Amino acid sequence: MCITEIGTIALYQSDVFSQFENIIHGFTTRKGGVSRGAYESLSMSPRRGDDIECVHKNEEILCRELSLDIKALTSTRQEHTDRVEVIDEKRIGYGVKTPWDYGVDACITTLKNVPLLCYSADCVPVLIYAQDICAIAAVHAGWRGTEGGISKKTVQKLIEIGAEPKNIYAAIGPCIGQCCYEVDGDVALKFEEKYYVQKPMDKYMLDLGRVNYDLIKECGVNEENITLSGICTKCNNDLFFSHRGQNGKSGTLAGIICMRE
């Protein structure tokens, strides 16, 4: 995954998607927005305490730089669920213009020119493209969503609507790394032993990015079609928002994906 400057913003982009000219995608950094303080500057979520006017301005900036239709911008309502929603015409703009009535942590669409957003600030953002059925997905996976298998459920949904695993591509964006993600035993022990390192005093270092990678692989997706960024948001707090790195008060990054005609 490498960083690309596009106008005023800077995005991490995955090699697995760059072969597809019809796919616009990226994982945002803090760069290029108008928010201030803990939200400086490209904070994307309307639900984290940032000035809503600034968030809307940031949405405009992101869509302008990527030449996306802001009226169609559609996002999750992240509540650490394992709910995957398919976005049809009636649901274009949900999460941005029209609030969801319930938690939705992953969105899928087969519609062209409908950008899907997921938010993160240490949690794991995942973008997916099923080439054969022309479908895209944006997924938010914290530890609860990861435990609920949300990445896997999203890929399974794509398979259910006709995708073949070999035609599915996925990018796992910057998230808190195993270097920094210390959790108690009650969280770590929900996962297989290979995903954590035990420390003294019932503390564990958990690798959530790797769990999501394996969840996608378990669906039959080829390893070479999955990118795991391996970039830690807390270690690089100057470039990324980090919930832990900023003591719980931070802006949010976004994973964004859109399919053109």
Q: What are phi and psi for residue 87, nearest 5 degrees? A: -90, 110
Closest to Zn ion by CB, 107 vs 206, is 206
For the chain, the C-alpha Rg in angstroms (whole number) is: 17
Rounded CA gap, 87 and 84, in Å? 10
Q: Which stretch binds Zn ion (CB under 5 A): 57-65, 95-103, 124-132, 234-242?
A: 234-242
For Zn ion (CB under 5 A), the number of binding residues is 6
Give the footprint of Zn ion on residues 203-232 (CB under 5 A). 232
CB of 30 to Zn ion, least distance (A): 16
Closest separation in Å from C-beta 29 to Zn ion: 16
- Token couple for 110: 């087969």
User: DSSP assignment of 227-252, as one string?
Assistant: EE---BTTTTTTTS--TTTTTT----
The DSSP secondary structure of 32-89, one letter per residue, reads: T----GGG-S----TTSSS-HHHHHHHHHHHHHHHT--GGG-EE-B-SS---EEEE-G
Among 2, 52, 161, 179, binds Zn ion (CB under 5 A): 179
Q: Is 234 in the site for Zn ion (CB under 5 A)?
A: yes
CB of 179 to Zn ion, least distance (A): 4
Q: How far is the CB of 122 from Zn ion (least distance, A)?
A: 10
**Nearest to Zn ion of 179, 197 (CB atom):** 179
Binders of Zn ion in range 67-86 (CB under 5 A): none
Burial (CB count within 10 angstroms: exposed 0-12, middle 13-18, buried 19+), residue 15:
exposed
193's tokens:
């032993």
Show contacts with Zn ion in window 158-177 (CB under 5 A).
Answer: 177
Please state the closest distance from residue 124 (CB atom) to Zn ion, in A: 14
Given 6, 70, 86, 180, the residue binding Zn ion (CB under 5 A): 180
Considering all CA atoms of the chain, what is the largest pairwise distance in Å, rounded to the nearest integer?
Answer: 54
Contact residues for Zn ion, defined by CB under 5 A? 177, 179-180, 232, 234-235
